[in-house]
Amino acid sequence: MTVLDVRPEIEYDQGHIADSLSIPFDQLSRRLKELPRRKEIVAYCRGPFCVFADEAVAMLTKAGYKAKRLEEGFPDWAVLGLPIESN
């Protein structure tokens, strides 16, 4: 599984889910080849009302990737004390 952060780079640099890959949504269409085709991709952004993750999943699915959205976003992940990193 690949965890994909589709938030802007500045937000990723301030904190992200440990071991996640950063491809901001506005760059995703031109960077699809960086993603593994044979692994499931789980996209996340700021939370349940952030549309970046929904749009990323739609784009990935249309391009033939197996993708789903992480229901929670990074803030929820961090509050739960789950593994995070920052640059």
Distance CA 44, CA 57 (A): 9
Q: Which of 45, 50, 53, 60 is catalytic?
A: 45
Asked if 45 contacts 7 with a C-beta cutoff of 8 angstroms, the reply is yes
**CA neighbours within 13 Å on the CB side: how many for 29?**
6
Single out the residue of 79, 77, 80, 60 nearest to residue 68, CA to CA. Answer: 60
Cα 61 versus chain centre, distance: 14
Look up 50 and say whether it is catalytic. no
Which residues participate in catalysis according to the annotation? Answer: 45
